[in-house]
Amino acid sequence: MKIKFLPVFVIALAGFLFATMAGSVGAVEVDIKFSEYLTKVMPRINVIERQREKYFRQHRRTPSTSIKSTRMFATSRWSAVQWANEVLIPDVNDFSVEALTRGFVTASLERAGISGVERVEIELRSLRVANYSLAAMSGPNSYAIGSITVYDAAGNTIGTADFTANLVTDFLVATSYDGSDFAFPDISIRQRVGPTLAYFVYKGLGRIFPDREFARTVLLIF
């Protein structure tokens, strides 16, 4: 699946601006290839993710969250947070694993000030989220296995990484977040694919560009 992803908006994400066409990243082609088993379950995953994203944007919690907890006040208390999913995909109807992955890649390159990248090739062979509601995706731990390869305009390989990314996150207690990382609610660690995918991109690009700092996965406790 080859899709041209062009950042056409200028919006603050965790304290920095994404560039438009004039930015250092420009139009980056992101080629995503899923394994056979992920290809089969991806339509179902996308339905689950889109439903949960719609609910979260409306209520700032998930259907399983107890209304007796502090989360019942989330709409007002955490209204200033720039949640990664919302900034990368403003229209919830466009939400999908593919779109989110492309967003992580493009935003990460921009945040790190990487120039000269024409195409990024991602192969995702395995993706698991601890206690995910879909059995085909659930596991004892959250991790992603695959590879990331980066090419320049001439088609030359800038770098490649084949690796396993076991989710490692930073937990913060904050009612607003203005840092430079990808912010997710803490409840998403076991219910959403976003945190694991963001960490996969972070680890892969970090191996290819070891002298640059990329956006990490941050979970906000509330």
Beta bridge partners of 29: 4, 119
Q: What does the pLDDT profile of the chain (222 residues) look like in tens digits?
A: 444 433 333 333 333 333 322 333 458 999 999 999 999 999 999 999 999 999 999 888 766 655 445 555 555 556 678 899 999 999 999 999 999 999 999 999 999 999 999 999 999 999 999 989 999 999 899 999 999 999 999 999 999 999 999 999 888 877 777 778 999 998 899 889 999 999 999 999 999 999 999 999 999 886
- Residue 123, class by beta-carbon neighbours within 10 Å (0-12 exposed, 13-18 middle, 19+ buried)? middle
The residues, any chain, with a CB within 8 Å of residue 173's CB and separated by 6 or more, are: 220, 221, 222
Question: Burial letters for 110-122: b for 16+ Cβ neighbours within 10 Å, e otherwise?
Answer: bbbebeebbbbbb
Helix (H, G, I), strand (E, B) or coil at 126: strand
